């Protein structure tokens, strides 16, 4: 199998930086473009070529393709906060859809052969049943999910007309940090449960609010499918291998463990890892939260040479917590 040069967009961000590590560990030549609007330069290893700029800058990405002989793209750059997407929808369509159009156009012009795209469980909206299958209805309930779904569709149509193949990986709830401590989530206005709970555990917050206790679930709190960020990064490498080995096939897969955990179960795990309990405050429901999101990962297991290496909540939480301690020492 040939390990082609890969451009990682958003490679200084949370998930992108873990993908860079997985590619580098696997011996793939890798180059990063990131405008540092959310990313952190220090999450990219020094030896990885880094370009500060936007994927919407066609001239810049065209230069990068030529300079590094790029044959594949992992496209992470984008905006990811659901409530923000409701307040600023046009920013989300610009950053997630219009910018992707510019990138894909430049890639087609430069004959880049493989594009792997960061998609999301938000494309399903509030599903009628779990676990969610890839072929279930795509009915996003916020601009974030819609902006990602549009890009999926654009890739599908463009790949039918031009000589490249694509993968869309629909992430469920990504959490944790590199087990070797090289990367993790940097808190710029954290909103995600495990990040917030880890911040509370190390004393950066005095409590965690539990948003809603009256959902139709066994303990009344929302159920999510949490996946370790390093397992997700490994899934990207496996997906890229598939795209390069089977240039006539595309790939759309859910990325999760297929296991649902409630907010309270996650907080119990934090308490186990931390030794002392984090203070919980029971609060109103947060707008737009579906009660349950759990992946069917049958296709992921079937198509990808991938198995979870960190597939339990205590491991995810342990790594999230040790990264939070690393940030305190910085």
Kindly list the distances between the CA atom of residue 20 and the CA atoms of 5, 6, 27, 48, 123, in Å, as whole numbers in the listed order: 12, 9, 11, 9, 25
Q: Is 192 in the site for ligand UFG (CB under 6 A)?
A: yes
Whether 144 is a known active-site residue: answer yes
Query: Which of the ranges 30-38, 60-68, 96-104, 116-124 carries the binding residues for ligand UFG, by CB under 6 A?
Result: 116-124
Residues near ligand UFG (CB under 6 A), total: 21
In the complex, residue closest to ligand UFG by CB: 222
Alpha-carbon torsion (26, 240, 301, 15), positive or negative = positive
Q: How far is CA 60 from the centre of its chain?
A: 24
Query: Which of the ranges 53-61, 65-73, 189-197, 268-276 carries the binding residues for ligand UFG, by CB under 6 A?
Result: 189-197
Q: Is 173 in the site for ligand UFG (CB under 6 A)?
A: yes
Burial of 96 (0-12, 13-18, 19+ CB in 10 A): buried
Task: Name the nearest CA neighbour of 178 among 21, 45, 28.
Answer: 21
Among 122, 169, 243, 251, the residue binding ligand UFG under the rule CB under 6 A is 122
Of 113 and 286, which CB lies nearer to ligand UFG in the complex structure? 286
- Span 240-279, contacts to ligand UFG by CB under 6 A: 263
Q: Are 244 and 192 in contact (CB under 8 A)?
A: no
What is the spatial distance between Cα 236 and Cα 150, in angstroms, rounded to a whole number? 21
Among 224, 228, 236, 259, the residue binding ligand UFG under the rule CB under 6 A is 224
What is the spatial distance between Cα 173 and Cα 49, in angstroms, rounded to a whole number? 29
Among 286, 298, 322, 327, the residue binding ligand UFG under the rule CB under 6 A is 286
Q: Is 32 in the site for ligand UFG (CB under 6 A)?
A: no
Least distance between ligand UFG and beta carbon 148 (Å): 8
Q: Is 196 in the site for ligand UFG (CB under 6 A)?
A: yes
Of 142 and 244, which CB lies nearer to ligand UFG in the complex structure? 142
* SS3 of residue 295 by DSSP: strand
Query: Which of the ranges 34-42, 59-67, 190-198, 251-259 carries the binding residues for ligand UFG, by CB under 6 A?
Result: 190-198
Least distance between ligand UFG and beta carbon 111 (Å): 32
Burial of 68 (0-12, 13-18, 19+ CB in 10 A): middle
The residue from 14, 144, 215, 226 that is catalytic is 144
Query: Which of the ranges 59-67, 118-126, 243-251, 300-308 carries the binding residues for ligand UFG, by CB under 6 A?
Result: 118-126
Of 185 and 315, which CB lies nearer to ligand UFG in the complex structure? 185
Query: Which of the ranges 231-239, 242-250, 285-293, 320-328 carries the binding residues for ligand UFG, by CB under 6 A?
Result: 285-293
Among 43, 61, 222, 253, the residue binding ligand UFG under the rule CB under 6 A is 222
* SS3 of residue 88 by DSSP: coil
Task: Name the nearest CA neighbour of 75 among 24, 16, 122.
Answer: 16
What is the spatial distance between Cα 20 and Cα 11, in angstroms, rounded to a whole number? 6
Q: Are 274 and 199 in contact (CB under 8 A)?
A: no
Task: Name the nearest CA neighbour of 15 among 83, 104, 61, 75.
Answer: 75
Q: Hey, which residues are catalytic here?
A: 144
Enumerate binding residues for ligand UFG (CB under 6 A). 80, 82, 120-122, 144, 173, 191-193, 196, 208-211, 222, 224, 263, 286, 289, 293
């Amino acid at each position: 199998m040939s390990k082609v040069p890969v451009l990682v967009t958003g490679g200084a961000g949370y998930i992108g930086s873990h993908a860079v590590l997985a590619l580098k560990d696997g011996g793939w030549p890798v180059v990063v473009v990131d405008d540092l609007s959310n990313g952190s330069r220090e999450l990219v290893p020094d030896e990885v070529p880094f370009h500060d700029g936007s994927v919407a800058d066609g001239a810049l990405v065209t230069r990068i393709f030529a300079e590094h002989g790029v044959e594949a793209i992992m496209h992470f750059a984008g905006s990811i906060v659901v409530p923000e997407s409701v307040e600023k929808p046009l920013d989300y369509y610009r950053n997630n859809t219009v910018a992707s159009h510019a990138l894909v156009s430049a890639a087609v012009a430069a004959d880049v052969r493989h594009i792997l795209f960061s998609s999301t469980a938000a494309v399903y909206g509030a599903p009628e049943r779990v676990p969610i299958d890839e072929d279930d209805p795509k009915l996003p309930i916020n601009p974030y999910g819609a902006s990602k779904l549009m890009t999926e569709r654009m890739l599908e149509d463009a790949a039918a007309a031009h000589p490249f193949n694509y993968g869309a990986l629909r992430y469920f709830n990504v959490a944790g940090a590199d087990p070797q401590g090289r990367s993790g989530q940097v808190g710029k206005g954290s909103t995600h449960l495990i990040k917030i709970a880890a911040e509370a555990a190390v004393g950066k917050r005095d409590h965690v609010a539990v948003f809603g206790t009256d959902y139709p679930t066994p303990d009344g709190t929302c159920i999510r499918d949490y996946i370790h960020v390093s397992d997700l990064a490994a899934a990207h490498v496996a997906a890229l291998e598939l795209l390069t080995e089977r240039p006539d096939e595309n790939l759309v897969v859910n990325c999760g463990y297929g296991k649902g955990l409630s907010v309270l179960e996650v907080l119990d795990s934090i308490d186990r890892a931390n030794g002392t309990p984090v203070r919980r405050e029971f609060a109103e429901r947060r707008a737009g939260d579906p009660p349950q999101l759990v992946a069917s990962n049958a296709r992921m297991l079937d198509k990808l040479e991938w198995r979870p290496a960190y597939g339990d909540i205590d491991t995810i939480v342990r790594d999230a917590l040790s990264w939070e301690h690393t940030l305190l020492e910085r």
